[in-house]
Amino acid sequence: MKTSTRFYFGASALALATACGASAPTPELMTARNVYSQARSSEASQLNPRGVHEAHKALSAAERAHADDPGSDAERHYSYIATRRSELAIAQASEALAHKEQQRAEQDYQAGLEQRSQQMAQESSQYSQQLTQTQEQLQASGEELRAREQKLAELQAAADRAQAQLRKMEAIREEEGRMVISLSGVLFEAGGNVLSAPAQARLDTVAQALAAYPDRNIVVEGHTDARGSDSTNQALSQQRADAVREYLGQRGVAAERMRAVGRGESTPIATNDTAEGRANNRRVEVIVEPATQQRTSSTSAADVAPPAPAEDDGVPAPPDARPRTSSRQR
């Protein structure tokens, strides 16, 4: 037992003496150890494990050389190789990392280009669709405009023909910048306000003539002769003016720009002493006002005619008949 204890302490003392007497590593070996430690702790251990392993092998050789012959040329030689392999492992790992990042950047760039290309293609498609729609709308608008112009030309031509026909009938005259279309003769049933068939045909021509003045105000005036009472004539002339206004509205003349006025017997154009004169006084006048004249809400004094007697039925009165009688009205 004493012998074993003595041997144990002797071996320990020998090992301590050996450790204390061991030589320090060369600067080359210290550098190799530091650089290898950097390689192991860097991304080289993940990106370049083979290079780190080669550096470890070289460092192990340097450690063995140091253990066998401290400070020897072999220790310095293997230490130098270990340092260079560690540095190479780090450099190769950095290069691999840079290459990987470059690849990632290129992929991101390509992905961005593809996304932008798809976006531009989509926008181009949308612009193309919008352009096509705009062209179609312009084409439709152009066709609609041409159709409208053709329609206006047809209406103008019809209006010109109608006006020429009315002028040929001597039914149109100009008064103070206004165009007056005068319709006389048998326009209504005796004593009533129902338009006769010939009157409707003549009003069809008038409606065509009025198409040339779509922005002008129109006054429809009803007139009677002097036979009958003032109040009866006034009421009858208003009813007949209303009937003409309504008929023209049915033939396309805008109702909002027409107004009907009954004049009764207040504005004769011929004598009421003869059958022919009374027939001329029994009339309806369609007046196209000047373009600059605006319709006002108030009625002019001329529009408010005093009550006038009704028209006769177109039959000449006997020689002894008095000009005013209430028994014969038209």
Tell me which of 307 and 64 has the higher pLDDT: 64
Q: Is residue 90 part of a domain?
A: yes
Does residue 48 sit within a domain? Answer: yes
What integer pLDDT is reported at residue 146 of this predicted model?
86
Point out the least confidently predicted range of 21-30, 85-94, 156-165, 240-249. 156-165
Identify the pLDDT of residue 175.
84
Give the pLDDT of residue 239: 93
- Whether the predicted pLDDT of 16 surpasses 50: no
pLDDT at 141: 87
Instruction: Note whether 97 and 213 are same-domain residues.
Output: no
Please indicate whether residue 254 or residue 166 has the higher confidence score (pLDDT). Answer: 254
Q: Which pLDDT score is estimated for 262? A: 94
Residue 261 and residue 191 share a domain? yes
Pair 303, 287: CB distance under 8 Å: no
* Average pLDDT estimate for 12-33: 66
Pairing assessment for the beta strands 218-223 and 258-264 based on DSSP bridges: parallel
Greater confidence (10 vs 254) lies with 254
189 pLDDT tier (thresholds 50, 70, 90): confident
| 192 and 255, same domain (yes or no) | yes
- Residues 169, 92 share a domain: no
CATH code (residue 176) = 3.30.1330.60
pLDDT above 70 (res 118): yes
- Number of compact structural domains in the chain: 2
Residue 234 within a domain: yes
68 near 114, Cβ under 8 Å?
no
Q: What is the pLDDT of residue 168?
A: 65
| pLDDT-based confidence at residue 170 (cuts at 50, 70, 90) | low
Place of tokens 């003032």: 230
The strand order across the sheet containing 283-288 reads 172-175, 178-184, 283-288, 218-223, 258-264
Lowest mean pLDDT among 178-192, 203-217, 312-326: 312-326
Query: Would residue 135 count as lying in a domain?
Result: no
Whether residue 168 is found in the same domain as residue 281: yes
Q: Are residues 205 and 281 in the same domain?
A: yes
Confidence at 148, pLDDT banded by 50, 70, 90 = confident
Q: What are phi and psi of 191, to 5 degrees?
A: 70, 5
pLDDT of 301 reads 39
Does the pLDDT value for residue 2 go beyond 70? no
Does residue 191 share a domain with residue 98? no
Specify the pLDDT at position 186: 67
Residue 143 in any domain: the answer is no
Say whether both 283 and 168 belong to one domain: yes
How confident is residue 231, by pLDDT bands cut at 50, 70 and 90? very high
* Residue 169 or 286, more confident: 286
Q: What is the mean pLDDT of residues 180-195?
A: 83
pLDDT in tens, 32-86: 999 999 999 999 889 999 999 999 999 999 999 999 999 999 999 999 999 999 9
Examine residue 139 and state whether it is found in any structural domain, yes or no.
no
Structural domain boundaries, residue 260: 160-288
**Considering the domain boundaries, does residue 294 fall inside one?**
no
**Share of residues in the chain with pLDDT > 90 (%):** 46
pLDDT at 14: 30
More confident residue, 295 or 137: 137
pLDDT at 107: 92
Between residues 176 and 311, the one the model is more confident about: 176
pTM: 0.46
Least Cα distance to 308 among 240, 247, 244 occurs for 240
Q: What is the mean pLDDT of the chain?
A: 80
Q: Are residues 84 and 178 in the same domain?
A: no
**Is 106 contained in some domain?**
yes
pLDDT of residue 177: 86
